[in-house]
Amino acid sequence: TNKTTATSPSARKTMPPKVRVKIPIHVLVYSLGFFPAAAYAYHWYKNAPTDEEFEQQLSKNYSQNIQTSREKHVQMTQFLQNIKDPNNTDQQQRMQEVLLGGRGQQKRHYAVDDSIYGTEEGAKLQKEAVDGSGKIIKKRKKKKKRKD
């Protein structure tokens, strides 16, 4: 009974050994996750428009934005040149106003209605406003006491 089977010792010697490549699972997962991004990048690289085509598309779709951006750029460079020039008193005065935060002159924060200013009706409205604001403050104080 001289049968040669795949499991016999003589058959094992004639078969080439199996090549086993062990790839860690995290390398496989990261490789599979990275592959679509790499494929998309390669596709975009091959099919991307040239600089001239891209510029034509931008000028076609965003010409108004480009024009306003150029105007603002010119204004900004002019503004910075005026700041550098110590002889430009107009610009120096504007910068002082900005730095003072409007404290250089008195400003009126609320509009005055001349039709009721100085009348009994105006005094009544003012009293109601003051009383109303006092109630709001009292409510706030009550809420603070409740929280404590």
Q: H or E segment at 33?
A: helix 25-47
Q: Which two tokens stand for residue 45?
A: 């690289």
Mean pLDDT of 67-89: 88
According to DSSP, residue 85 is labeled -
What whole-number percentage of the chain has pLDDT above 70?
Answer: 73
Mean pLDDT of 86-111: 73
Given a cut of 70, whether residue 104 has pLDDT beyond it is no
Give how far Cα 74 sits from Cα of 22, 69, 78, Å.
63, 9, 6
Mean pLDDT of 138-144: 67
Mean pLDDT of 87-91: 83
Query: What confidence tens digit (pLDDT) does each residue in 9-67 have?
Result: 555 567 777 878 888 999 999 999 999 999 999 999 999 889 999 899 988 888 889 88
pLDDT number for residue 123 = 85
- List CB contacts of 79: < 8 A, sequence separation 6 or more: 91
Q: What pTM does this model have?
A: 0.33
